[in-house]
Amino acid sequence: MKILFVIKAMGLPGGGAERVVSQIAPELAARGHDVTVLTRDPASTPDFYPMRGVRRIRHGGGGTERRSRFGELARWMKNLRRDLTAARPDVVIGVMHSSYLPVGAALVGSGIPVIASEHTVYAHYSGRPKERFLLQLAPYLSAKITVVSRSALNSFPPRLRRRMAVLPNPVVGAPADPDQMKRAPIILSVGRLDEGKDHATLIDAFAALAAPNPDWRLEIAGDGPLRSLLEQRIARHDLGERIRLLGPVSDVGPLYRRASIFAMASRYESFGLAMAEALAHGLPVIGFADCPGINELIEDKRNGLLLKGLGDRTSLLTQALASLMKNEQLRLELGQSAGGSVRKYALEPTADRWVDLLNEIVAGPQPGGKIVA
C-alpha cells in the first residue's frame, strides 16, 4: 500500500503520538509498504525521533509550536489537497485532531480515504469548546477513527464511538536481567509537564519521603508549560539536588533500565505509553485507579501498585512509594511480572492490527467483511 501519515510536527521534543509514528511508520515500511510522513515542520528541521526507510515531507506553513492562524491553516489545506491528490496515496492517516480534521476537510470529494488517529480521551476537550465542536465533524471527514485503549473509546460520546476502533500504541522495551544489572535508587516519571500529568503531586510525595531515604532520587523526563512552576515547587522543598527535571529525552531506554520504580500521578491518560514502556523494561509501576488508560495497564500487586480510595492523592502516592522504596524483594517480584503484562502491545502485533485496518479501509466496505475493534 501507499500510506501517508500527516502529523503537525516531528521536530518538537517529546510527544507520545510522535513517538508512536516514529515506530509504526518504519515498521510498515520494513514490511514493503510505501510510507511517507508529512509534517508542517520547516524544511531544515530534524526529526526528534529518527525514522528509517520512510519518505519525509516537511511542508512548512508555521504553527508547529502554537495554534495555527486561520490564514496559515487555509493555505496549508489548499497545498495539502494539491499535493495529495497528485500523489494519490491509498490511505492517509491524520494523527491527532490538529491534523486529521484539516486533512479530512482538505480531501473531501477526492476519493482518498482518511483515518483519524486520536491519541487522547474526551476529557481533554472539556475546556476546549471550539475543538470539541469541530470534533463532531470527524465521522463525516474520516473512514475510521482510531483510539488507543478501550477506556479512551468509552470516554467519547456514542455518536463518535460508532466510528471508532481500538488500536493500542506499540510498546518497545528490553527488560533488564536483575542478575546482570544493579538498578539505582531512582524513581522515574516520563511525560509532558502539564496539569493532566500532575507532577506536583509526585514531587510532594517524594518530598515527604526524602529525609528518611537519603539515597533515593526522583527524575522526571519531559517538558511543557508547567516547568517553571515545578522548578519553584522543587526549590520550596529544597530538593534541587534530589529531584531532576531532565527535559525532553529522545532515547528513554537508558532511563528505564537504570531506575528502580516508575511512578505516574496522571489524572487521565489515553493509553499510558510511558508506563507501558516502563513495564516492558521490567520496572514496577505506580499509578491511580481512577486514571483511564493507566488502570488498564496496572495489575495491582502483580506488576505494580494501583492506588484506590478517596484519600488525599499525595498521601496515597506517598504510602505506595514508601512501600516499594523500602522493599527490594517486592520491587523485584513486581518487575519480573512487568514485561509479560504488556507483551500483547509489542510492535509487531500492533503493526499487524494496523495492516488489518488499512486493508479494510483501502478495500472499502465488503459484505460480511472483518471489523477491526
pLDDT of residue 371: 37
2-170+346-363 against 186-344: fold identical:
yes
Beta bridge pairs of residue 245:
220
* Geometric angle at alpha carbon 38, from 346 and 98, rounded to 5°: 85
**Sequence ranges of the domains in the chain:** 2-170+346-363, 186-344
pLDDT higher than threshold 80 for residue 196? yes
Instruction: Tell me the mean pLDDT in the region 138-158.
Output: 95
Q: Give the neighbor-by-neighbor strand order of the sheet with 285-288.
A: 243-247, 217-221, 186-190, 261-263, 285-288, 304-307
| SS3 of residue 66 by DSSP | coil
Pairing of strands 55-58, 91-95: unpaired
Q: What's the whole-model pTM score?
A: 0.85
pLDDT of residue 176: 58
90 vs 114: CA distance, rounded Å: 9
pLDDT higher than threshold 70 for residue 201? yes
- pLDDT-based confidence at residue 69 (cuts at 50, 70, 90): confident
Hey, CA dihedral for 115, 101, 267, 210, is it positive or negative? positive
pLDDT higher than threshold 60 for residue 177? no
Question: How would DSSP label each residue in 165-221?
Answer: EE-PPP-------TTT----SEEEEES-SSGGG-HHHHHHHHHHHHTT-TT-EEEEE
Q: Which of 175-184, 201-210, 279-288, 297-306 has the lowest mean pLDDT?
A: 175-184
Long-range contacts of 298-306 (CB under 8 A, 24+ apart): 299/337, 299/341, 301/334, 302/334, 302/337, 302/341, 303/279, 303/334, 303/337, 303/338, 303/341, 304/262, 304/279, 304/334, 304/338, 305/334
pLDDT higher than threshold 70 for residue 366? no
The 10s digit of each residue's pLDDT in 217-240 is 999 999 999 999 999 999 999 999
pLDDT of residue 372: 40
Q: How far is CA 147 from the centre of its chain?
A: 11
Instruction: Tell me the mean pLDDT in the region 157-170.
Output: 95
What superfamily in CATH does domain 186-344 come from?
Glycogen Phosphorylase B; (3.40.50.2000)
pLDDT of residue 370: 39
pLDDT of residue 173: 78
* Geometric angle at alpha carbon 221, from 29 and 183, rounded to 5°: 95
Q: Which residue has the higher pLDDT, 322 or 178?
A: 322
355: cell is 495492516
The 10s digit of each residue's pLDDT in 287-312 is 999 998 899 999 999 999 999 977 79
Hey, CA dihedral for 200, 201, 203, 207, is it positive or negative? positive
CATH architecture of structural domain 2-170+346-363: 3-Layer(aba) Sandwich (3.40)
Task: Confirm if 38 and 6 have CB atoms less than 8 A apart.
Answer: yes
* Geometric angle at alpha carbon 113, from 108 and 116, rounded to 5°: 90
28 vs 203: CA distance, rounded Å: 40
Instruction: Tell me the mean pLDDT in the region 163-175.
Output: 88
pLDDT of residue 22: 95
pLDDT higher than threshold 60 for residue 368? no
